[in-house]
Amino acid sequence: MKSLQRTLFISLIVIVLTPAYHGVEIIGGHEAKPHSKPYMASIQCNKKKKYEHYCGGALIRNRWVLTAAHCECKGPVQVVLGAHSLSQNEESQQKIRVKKQYPHPKFNKKTPDDDIMLLQLSSEAKTNKYVKLLNLPKDKDKDIKPGIQCTVAGWGQTKSKTPSDTLREVMLYVIDRQTCNSKQYYNHQPQITKDMICASDRKGREDTSMGDSGSPLICRNKYKGIVSYGPKDPNAKKPGIYTFITKKYLDWIEKVIGVKTYNMTTEDLY
């Protein structure tokens, strides 16, 4: 039995932590209002002489995007800001090459621990009504109560298993860590720590998946988490796992960027 559990766990890690198929993202949900989430970044990796959407992220400074560490790309990377449709050459879009990727030094692909990464852009993003910064948490270690409603947005797969060209969003609810670690849920495989958030819809019909990795989890208009880990298909007993942006990570971000990120000027989310 232990051998079977270990095999299933390793298989899940391979499926979820390695975003090999760029088109898998929001399952269910609905199309977002165009340009209603101006902080969203499409992270695109060039593997076949063409940039393709790979992960999501959030613009937190003019030269910095925050995403998940397992979204690290071995080839050239660019981010697209100000987009609603990725196939259309929208005038609102800004395409900027990534100068350097900074995955958290303690991240290990075998677990979702420390699944957070900074992308340094080669030039500054120009903020306007289509492109805005997303504030990092100012309340630092304040936890999120179970049952709170959150949203995640991303480009990609829908219920019909076909990629979406336009930005979609899904509504989720926070699940307490004790429940998420219980035998009926993840059974500590992986261990849901205080640096993670569990969230799903209440019927197991909608969720995030691989290609949505790195996208921001917004709870009560606050940036609280990063899409990290979850099953290939929505499952009420296998909720999505999100990196919780705690003081530990804020301190690391400050060290990399060189500014006190949680004292940034307020920007409207919408």
Residues 124 and 213 in one domain: no
Catalytic residue among 70, 84, 201, 212: 70
102 lies in which domain range?
38-133+248-263
Residues 227 and 259 in one domain: no
| In a domain? residue 155 | yes
pTM, entire model? 0.84
| In a domain? residue 26 | no
213 part of the active site: yes
d(C-alpha 213, C-alpha 211), whole Å: 5
| In a domain? residue 7 | no
| In a domain? residue 52 | yes
Residues 106 and 47 in one domain: yes
d(C-alpha 100, C-alpha 92), whole Å: 24
Residues 45 and 168 in one domain: no
| In a domain? residue 195 | yes
Residue 193: burial class (beta carbons within 10 Å; 0-12, 13-18, 19+)? middle
75: Cα within 13 Å, side-chain hemisphere? 12
Residues 176 and 121 in one domain: no
Catalytic residue among 42, 164, 213, 215: 213
Catalytic residue among 113, 114, 115, 207: 115
Q: What is the pLDDT along the chain (270 residues), one digit of tens a residue?
A: 444 444 333 333 333 333 432 323 445 567 899 999 999 999 999 988 899 888 999 999 999 999 999 999 999 999 999 999 999 989 999 999 999 999 999 999 889 999 999 999 999 999 999 999 999 998 776 899 999 999 999 886 655 555 578 898 989 999 999 999 999 999 999 999 999 999 988 665 454 555 588 999 999 999 999 999 887 666 778 899 999 999 999 999 999 998 655 544 444 443
Residues 128 and 255 in one domain: yes
Residues 230 and 252 in one domain: no
Domain of 68, CATH number, reads 2.40.10.10
Cis status, amide bond into 190, omega within 30 of 0: yes
| In a domain? residue 194 | yes
The kind and range of the H/E element at 254 are helix 247-257
188 part of the active site: no
Residues 181 and 222 in one domain: yes
Residues 212 and 242 in one domain: yes
| In a domain? residue 215 | yes
| In a domain? residue 125 | yes
d(C-alpha 258, C-alpha 264), whole Å: 12
The kind and range of the H/E element at 100 are strand 94-103
Residues 233 and 254 in one domain: no
Counting the structural domains of the chain, the total is: 2
70 part of the active site: yes
Collapsing DSSP states into helix, strand and coil, what is residue 126?
A: coil
